[in-house]
A and B are shown apart, each in its own frame.
Chain A
């Protein structure tokens, strides 16, 4: 342990007082800028948002705000569009993250031995998740294009009925999910590969000696060992899925018939198109509350902060 950590026995260079002072309080000084910036950028907006949420806010900065109490929160209970957006967000998050997880884990288990040394190939497979979401969105828009898109060409060749994809009431959410799965399965795959690479060998040897089937080994050894990595991967994916915006903005704009309207998009629309920042702030607070509860519960359980 470093002596100076205690702040008592710092190496005593008899310099100016200022230097000594800053040396003694170094642990606070080094942390201070980050803490101050993040306080300013998160706590302040949260308070301000709460303030906005209990007012009727005009988008015109010169007009005064009217205090409306909990009206904006009460609206959440009766606003059908909000409930649609909430349901769409939950459906998207559950379905997309589940598919990505199963696919990513499955691929990692199958390919682990074969791809471990193929670093270049592995990086190529990781490209989708690094790309700008907007570029991904226009790429899939081009693929889904009903008239000249590649997907309908494939459907046609296979003798299947061509579809409107992102423009179809029943397929729009599916189309969004496919694009998201394309972009984010590599993320799960990569983390699972990292997890598999760090597995200890001995328990498996012992299990093999005991005659445990590979199925048993998978459930009793692999899954428990992978648990921390799985937890982190799922936490990050869920948090990301809850904030889905770019793909929907470009591919469907929330339509058709609100089938892909997710919470982020709805907040955006309420704030700007309907010019009602007070109500948008109330919805935002709801989303913030849900993500804080969810992520805190997750991180506490997984002892991530350590």
Chain B
């Protein structure tokens, strides 16, 4: 008996050791690439090209930040990204919240609820590449290429289904009795939504909005198709534009790339409790 217990305990210890070792390795593998882009953004060109690589920037410099954000229009790109993300998020969250609430609470004839939920989800599954041809021709026809409005319209196509499903799942978690009580007290159905359900869903609303901001901020393909001018291009397009056939401006793209990551990391920590739900479109409640 005693030997079994000792064996179990040493097995337990071994498992624990293996687990912490794995976590450590995973942390290093996760963080190194992010560290590396940050480190290179603070190096002079000559140090970026150093062999063997300079693991820590020996001569830290802000030169590439100056190049990217002062001399070249990366600040403009970042602002475009930000404005487009805000516009998309505002539209998606407003309409998505209403639709999500409707799908969570109301009854419809002929299984409409199921059918419509399903259809909305399937629009989210649509690969963006398949919509670029019609969107391009459409924006071209209406003379909207190179505008931020075009990007907002295009991004709404995949952010709105996301917001709808997220909000649907948050509303489904709320007890319906509170809204019923409000109606008994004389509130309208709309009032019950506005004054009771919506305030209770506020954390979910915030998480959904942040996810929409992240999705729009990160988007690349649609922006690549729709925008060709500095006035409308987003940050990812600006970065990709400095990777050319002839030269890659490592310092500049490292600085811009790292700056593109910073808000995302902050957002990730703000929504950490909602990550599971957000990444599974509300399907898994973490």
CA distance A127 to B267 in the complex (A): 10
Q: When A139-B34, A277-B133 are in contact, do A264 and B221 touch as well, CB less than 8 Å?
A: yes
Q: Is A99 an interface residue (CB 8 A)?
A: no
Q: Is B206 an interface residue (CB 8 A)?
A: no
CA distance A188 to B265 in the complex (A): 19
CA distance A242 to B153 in the complex (A): 23
- Picked from B126, B240, B267, the residue with its CB within 8 Å of the CB of A42 is B126
Q: When A132-B217, A250-B243 are in contact, do A245 and B133 touch as well, CB less than 8 Å?
A: no
A277 partner residues in chain B, CB cutoff 8 A: 133, 136-137
Stretch at the interface among A73-81, A145-153, A168-176, A215-223: A145-153
CA distance A38 to B276 in the complex (A): 25
Q: When A37-B160, A45-B138, A114-B19 are in contact, do A134 and B239 touch as well, CB less than 8 Å?
A: yes
Q: Is B199 an interface residue (CB 8 A)?
A: no
What is the number of residues of chain B that contact chain A, defined by CB distance less than 8 Å?
110
CA distance A250 to B135 in the complex (A): 23
Q: Across the interface, do A242 and B127 meet the contact criterion of CB distance under 8 Å?
A: yes
> Chain A, 31-55, contact with B by CB distance < 8 Å: what is the 0/1 string?
1011101100110111011001000
Q: Across the interface, do B253 and A284 meet the contact criterion of CB distance under 8 Å?
A: no
Q: Across the interface, do B33 and A123 meet the contact criterion of CB distance under 8 Å?
A: no
CA distance A280 to B119 in the complex (A): 25
Q: Across the interface, do A135 and B257 meet the contact criterion of CB distance under 8 Å?
A: yes
Stretch at the interface among B56-64, B66-74, B175-183: B175-183
Q: Is B201 an interface residue (CB 8 A)?
A: no
- Picked from A44, A131, A295, the residue with its CB within 8 Å of the CB of B122 is A295
Interface residues of A in 226-247 (CB under 8 A from B): 229, 232-233, 236, 239, 242-243, 245-246
Q: When A31-B98, A249-B240, A271-B133 are in contact, do A295 and B125 touch as well, CB less than 8 Å?
A: yes
List the A residue with the shortest CB-CB distance to B161.
Answer: A38
Q: Across the interface, do B117 and A305 meet the contact criterion of CB distance under 8 Å?
A: yes
Q: Is A142 an interface residue (CB 8 A)?
A: yes
The smallest C-beta distance from B107 to any residue of chain A, in angstroms, reads 5
> Chain B, 38-82, contact with A by CB distance < 8 Å: what is the 0/1 string?
001000000011111100000000000000000000000000000
List the B residue with the shortest CB-CB distance to A34.
Answer: B99
List the A residue with the shortest CB-CB distance to B51.
Answer: A148
Q: Across the interface, do A291 and B140 meet the contact criterion of CB distance under 8 Å?
A: no
- Picked from B138, B160, B260, the residue with its CB within 8 Å of the CB of A134 is B260
Q: Is B156 an interface residue (CB 8 A)?
A: yes
A123 partner residues in chain B, CB cutoff 8 A: 268-269, 272, 275
- Picked from A52, A110, A132, A142, the residue with its CB within 8 Å of the CB of B133 is A52
CA distance A272 to B136 in the complex (A): 11
Q: Across the interface, do A133 and B220 meet the contact criterion of CB distance under 8 Å?
A: yes
The smallest C-beta distance from A253 to any residue of chain B, in angstroms, reads 9
Q: Across the interface, do B281 and A236 meet the contact criterion of CB distance under 8 Å?
A: yes
Q: Across the interface, do A127 and B268 meet the contact criterion of CB distance under 8 Å?
A: yes
Q: Is B132 an interface residue (CB 8 A)?
A: yes
B243 partner residues in chain A, CB cutoff 8 A: 138, 141, 250
Q: Is A102 an interface residue (CB 8 A)?
A: no
CA distance A288 to B29 in the complex (A): 35
Q: Is A95 an interface residue (CB 8 A)?
A: no
Q: Is A263 an interface residue (CB 8 A)?
A: yes
- Picked from B221, B272, B276, the residue with its CB within 8 Å of the CB of A246 is B221
B267 partner residues in chain A, CB cutoff 8 A: 130
Q: Is B254 an interface residue (CB 8 A)?
A: yes
Q: Across the interface, do B129 and A126 meet the contact criterion of CB distance under 8 Å?
A: no
- Picked from B118, B132, B140, the residue with its CB within 8 Å of the CB of A271 is B132
Q: Across the interface, do A34 and B98 meet the contact criterion of CB distance under 8 Å?
A: yes
Q: Across the interface, do B254 and A142 meet the contact criterion of CB distance under 8 Å?
A: yes
Q: Is A213 an interface residue (CB 8 A)?
A: no
Interface residues of A in 283-298 (CB under 8 A from B): 284-285, 287-288, 291-292, 295-296
- Picked from B27, B160, B176, B275, the residue with its CB within 8 Å of the CB of A38 is B160
Q: Across the interface, do A114 and B23 meet the contact criterion of CB distance under 8 Å?
A: yes
CA distance A271 to B132 in the complex (A): 9
What are 18 residue pairs bridging A and B, where the CB atoms are less than 8 Å apart in the complex?
A: A5-B107, A11-B183, A11-B188, A33-B99, A45-B134, A128-B30, A132-B217, A139-B34, A139-B37, A142-B37, A153-B52, A194-B286, A197-B286, A236-B281, A239-B125, A250-B240, A263-B129, A296-B122
A-B residue pairs, 7 tightest by C-beta: A45-B134, A27-B106, A34-B99, A305-B118, A243-B127, A134-B236, A41-B157
Chain B contacts to A: CB under 8 angstroms: 16, 18-20, 22-23, 26-27, 29-31, 33-34, 36-37, 40, 48-53, 91, 95-96, 98-99, 101-103, 105-108, 114, 116-123, 125-138, 140-141, 153, 156-157, 160-161, 164, 176, 179-180, 183, 186-190, 193, 214, 217-218, 220-221, 224-225, 235-236, 239-240, 243, 248, 250, 253-254, 257-258, 260-261, 264-265, 267-269, 272, 275-276, 279-281, 283-286
